[in-house]
């Protein structure tokens, strides 16, 4: 897609500040409410390995599900076109930074703060589901996209509960976003996005 003559709808600075702000909100909530954050359930090497492996596997599964005919009532086409335009709006360094900020910031908020706080008051399964539904709602572009985002939240929330490693799910989320943005920008036709 030729983006030379058009400016992004949101400046890269604003997009980065927004993603960074999510992390700040999560961190403030963790500190204010004394939410215990589990980050050392696995070693750094294991967190990196499973974070990357999990992100690749999750991306493959989500893409297979999204391509099944009739699985979702509304088409993901419009959302994928919007995400393709978003990916084309920014340089690769900005996209990588956005992915890192999303991985760190959103996991601090949804898994660290929200799921962590809920887990102190309800069963872990309820905390995972509730945090995942909130994650899906924040990413709502359509009902289908909400279902996929909630599913990703369930996977990340379960991984956090099983590994006691917020670092692992931060890596998982950030790498997943990098893969998704790269593929949408580089291979839009694979997703039914037609570029002129």
**Rounded to whole angstroms, how far apart are CA atoms 46 and 48?**
5
pLDDT at 196: 64
Higher pLDDT pick, 86 / 132: 132
pLDDT at 112: 97
What's the distance, CA 120 to chain centroid?
24
CA 79-2-65 angle, 5° bins: 25
**Rounded to whole angstroms, how far apart are CA atoms 97 and 95?**
5
pLDDT one-digit tens code per residue, 79-127: 888 888 889 999 999 999 999 999 999 999 999 999 999 999 999 999 9
Which positions ≥6 away from 126 have C-beta within 8 Å? 118
Q: What are the boundaries of each domain within the chain?
A: 43-68+76-189
pLDDT one-digit tens code per residue, 19-76: 999 999 999 999 999 999 999 999 999 999 999 999 999 999 887 876 777 666 556 7
Instruction: Give, to the nearest 10 degrees, the angle between helix 124-138 and helix 143-163.
Output: 140
Could you tell me the pTM of the whole model?
0.91
Q: Which residues of 114-144 are buried (b: 16+ CB within 10 A; e: fewer)?
A: bbbbbbeeeeeeebbbbbbebbbeebebbeb
């Amino acid at each position: 897609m030729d983006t030379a003559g058009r400016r992004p709808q949101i400046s890269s600075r604003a997009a980065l500040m927004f993603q960074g702000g999510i992390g700040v909100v999560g961190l403030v909530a963790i500190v204010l409410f004394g939410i215990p954050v589990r980050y050392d359930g696995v070693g750094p090497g294991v967190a990196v390995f499973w974070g990357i492996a999990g992100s690749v596997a999750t991306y493959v599964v989500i893409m297979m599900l999204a391509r099944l005919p009739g699985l979702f009532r509304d088409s993901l086409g419009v959302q994928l076109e919007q995400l393709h335009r978003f990916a084309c709006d920014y340089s690769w360094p900005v996209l990588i930074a956005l992915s890192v900020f999303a991985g760190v910031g959103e996991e601090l908020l949804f898994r660290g703060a929200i799921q962590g706080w809920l887990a102190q008051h309800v069963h872990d399964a309820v905390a995972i589901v509730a945090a995942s539904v909130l994650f899906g709602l924040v990413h709502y572009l359509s009902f289908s996209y909400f279902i996929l985002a909630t599913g990703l939240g369930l996977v990340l929330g379960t991984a956090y509960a099983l590994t006691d490693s917020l670092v692992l799910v931060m890596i998982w989320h950030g790498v997943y976003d990098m893969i998704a943005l790269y593929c949408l920008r580089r291979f839009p036709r694979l997703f039914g996005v037609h570029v002129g």
